[in-house]
């Protein structure tokens, strides 16, 4: 067994694809419309789906926003130099929600940014 993907619902698919590809450096792996169901699926990630986990962006055509809810935590991404990555994210016009630094009660260096729909993305240095 292996983890295939994590699905999140997004209000504006093109805006979300731009964030995950341009800002976070993922690739758009595939995108397909389902007219009968009135939704579109787009898969983004750092590698091919045959051997890496990816994110499925689900856009329901008649829904512009979603409540994040209290059960979802975040998506985590490993980075080599968290300070450089955060500078690049700021340059791309996005705000860093938690500046880089050691995690509370630990030694890992982390930061947080929100995607366009408000989902938390944790950046972890050296993972």
CA distance 117 to 119: 6
CB of 7 within 8 A of CB of 54? no
Dihedral sign, CA of 25, 72, 12, 5?
positive
Catalytic residue among 64, 99, 122, 125: 122
In 1-127, where does DSSP find H-type helix? 13-18, 82-91
49 as an active site residue: the answer is: no
HSE of 81, CA atoms in CB hemisphere, 13 A: 5
CA distance 2 to 62: 33
Q: Catalytic amino acids?
A: 122
């Amino acid at each position: 067994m292996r983890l295939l993907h994590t699905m999140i619902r997004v209000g504006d698919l093109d805006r979300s694809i731009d964030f995950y590809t341009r800002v976070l450096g993922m690739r758009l792996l595939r995108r397909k419309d389902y007219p009968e169901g009135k939704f579109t699926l787009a898969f983004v990630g750092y590698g091919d789906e045959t051997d890496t986990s990816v994110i499925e962006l689900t856009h329901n055509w008649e829904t512009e926003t979603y409540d994040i809810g209290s059960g979802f935590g975040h998506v985590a991404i490993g980075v080599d130099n968290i300070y450089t990555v955060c500078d690049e994210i700021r340059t791309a016009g996005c705000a860093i929600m938690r500046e880089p630094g050691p995690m509370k009660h630990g030694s890992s260096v982390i930061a947080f940014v929100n995607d366009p729909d408000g989902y938390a993305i944790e950046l972890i240095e050296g993972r």
